Amino acid sequence: MNPKAYHVLFICTHNSARSIMAEGLLNGARRSDFVAHSAGSQPSGQVQPLALATMARMHLHTEGYRSKSWGEFAAADAPSMDFVFTVCDNAAGEVCPVWPGQPMTAHWGVPDPAALQGSEAERAQAYWDVATTLKRRIDLMLALPLASLDRLALQHEVRAIGSR
């Protein structure tokens, strides 16, 4: 792991679909300057199979993901986060732990594909739609000139990405 890498935490309530896919997408970009993590405020303990199937369809690794608590990343021995993004509306409204290092925060809310009732094809499409929205936002973040933006400008940019 690159010690100079930016650590990014994606948070969702259950850490079973959206935040897991975001973690996989950012790590799948294979950028040595970014390391993605995911967690939930109330982890379900399982990763949604359709989240993993969507990641496989996007040619991302699907091994090793687990639903975990955000408490793991607020602990003293956790990596210091540079960015923390909520990807669901419930997690955005919750009182988050105090993150060591005062990371940039933003809400990048997307619909919960696991909540969709419908055919297998409709559910798979919902996961795909969420994953492509997250990918677009991650690509926009990766394109930011991080070295040339001051903290206030960077905070503005990462928050604006959530509306795209």
Q: How far apart are CA 96 and CA 15, in angstroms?
A: 14
Q: What is the pTM of this model?
A: 0.93
Displacement of CA 150 from its chain's centroid (Å): 23
Structure tokens at 103: 């990371």
Q: Give CB contacts under 8 A, 24+ apart, made by 159-164.
A: 159/106, 159/107, 161/106, 161/108, 161/137, 162/85, 162/106, 162/107, 162/108, 162/109, 162/137, 164/136, 164/137, 164/140
What is the pLDDT tens value at each position of the chain, 164 positions in all? 455 899 999 999 999 999 999 999 999 999 999 999 999 999 999 999 999 999 999 999 999 999 999 999 988 888 999 999 999 876 555 566 767 778 999 999 999 999 999 999 999 999 999 999 999 999 999 999 998 999 999 999 999 999 88
- Asked if 74 and 100 count as a contact pair (C-beta separation under 8 A), the reply is yes
> Residue 93 has what pLDDT?
58
- Asked if 113 and 42 count as a contact pair (C-beta separation under 8 A), the reply is no
> Residue 113 has what pLDDT?
95
Number of Cβ within a 10 Å radius of residue 26 = 27
Q: What is the pLDDT of residues 39-84, one digit of tens each?
A: 999 999 999 999 999 999 999 999 999 999 999 998 888 899 999 9
Q: How far apart are CA 102 and CA 58, in angstroms?
A: 32
> Residue 89 has what pLDDT?
76
> Residue 76 has what pLDDT?
84
Bridge partners (DSSP) listed for residue 6: 34
